[in-house]
Structure 1
Amino acid sequence: MPEADTTEDEKPKKASKLPLIIGLVLALAGGGGGFYATWSGMILGDGPETAEAEETLEIKPGPDVSYVDVDPLVISMRAPSNANHLMFRATLEVPALAQETVEKLLPRVIDVLNSYLRALEPRDLEDPAALTRLRAQMLRRVQVVAGADNIKDLLIMEFVLN
């Protein structure tokens, strides 16, 4: 019976918490070091030094362009359409040196746009991507009339089906 007394007094040893504490300290140190390296710009280069350099940069002027407004167009739609009219207004982006030339050709530009928009079927306008496609078609037609070097872009300001 003396053997029974000795087994009751012995308790199993608890696992040490030292590895857990060391792991936690190393994780915090690694996270802090990573944050500092990123914040200071050592890793990604977007730290305070580059922010200060951006503030001192001189703002350069944009490209030398002008804008020529196209007179608003009101197009009557064909019969199977839900809408009766299309109201269209655009602006042409042109190089500053070509502004006068494009302004002289504006009646021809309006004629080309008017002819193209009148030829559209109502189903051409139903597609969600229709405006992008129509814009590209109109830009190409205007560039043919006024010269590709004279027209940089066609900006649609108003496109309303009424």
Structure 2
Amino acid sequence: MAEGEQAEGAAEGGEVASAPKGKLKLIIMVVGLFAVLGGGAATYFLFFRHGAEEVHAEAPPPKPPSFVEVPDMMVNLAGAPGERVQYLKVKLVLEVKEEKQVEAIKPSMPRVTDIFQSYLRELRPGDLNGSAGLFRLKEELTKRVNVALAPNQINAVLFKEVIIQ
């Protein structure tokens, strides 16, 4: 009888000892299951779902910009006394967002021409070297014309022709 009782006690003790290992296996299996399901869901949402439900409302096509011609300008560049005189000839166009701005800007063209002439006459030939020089010139002319035409604004000053002689 003692052996039977010990066998029953050992069986109960074995179940108690094996219970934590069984719970640990169960936890590992549950975590693994969630990892597999999470990975599958992430893959679906990142790679497969994009083309199925995306419907974008079509935006109306943007209006093409309008352009305002600026009269051709030819100015002498500033130089040191005794140096050969160099000239700058430019043909410019102003880019505006809408056609109705063109009509608002045209009465102010004498002011724009005066501002451009005044600025261009102060330039030295070295100020216009390379593409960086022309980029700085374009940016400076854009700033100056926007100040002169406020509250109307232009998008950019575009060069049609630049000749340094």
Same fold (TM over 0.5): yes
Distance in 2 (CA, whole Å) between partners of 1:156 and 1:148 is 23
Unaligned 5+ residue runs, structure 2? 1-46, 51-57
Give the drift of 1:132: 0.5
Letter in 1 for 2:101: A
Give the drift of 1:145: 0.4
TM alignment of 1:113-128, pairs within 5 A? 113-128=116-131
Superposed CA deviations along residues 109-140 of structure 1, whole A, max 9, x for unmatched, are 01101110001122212254100011000000
- Structure whose CA Rg is larger: 2
CA RMSD of aligned residues (A): 3.4
1:87 and 2:89 correspond = yes
Moved more, 146-155 or 94-103: 146-155
Select which of 92, 96, 101 maps to 2:99. Answer: 96
8 Å contact from structure 2 (residues 78, 124) kept in 1 = yes
Select which of 110, 121, 136 maps to 2:139. Answer: 136
8 Å contact from structure 1 (residues 139, 153) kept in 2 = yes
8 Å contact from structure 1 (residues 76, 84) kept in 2 = yes
Letter in 2 for 1:125: L
Distance in 2 (CA, whole Å) between partners of 1:127 and 1:97 is 35
8 Å contact from structure 2 (residues 79, 124) kept in 1 = no
Give the drift of 1:96: 1.4
Q: 1:83 to 1:160 in 2, by over 3 A?
A: farther
Distance in 2 (CA, whole Å) between partners of 1:64 and 1:79 is 41
Identity rate of aligned residues, in percent? 30
Number of aligned residue pairs: give it: 117
Letter in 1 for 2:157: L
Unaligned 5+ residue runs, structure 1? 1-41, 46-57
SS in 1 for 2:88: strand
8 Å contact from structure 1 (residues 64, 96) kept in 2 = no
* Structure number having the greater helix percentage: 2
Counterpart for residue 160 of structure 1: 163
Q: 1:144 to 1:115 in 2, by over 3 A?
A: same
Letter in 2 for 1:130: G
Give the drift of 1:86: 0.5
Give the drift of 1:156: 1.2
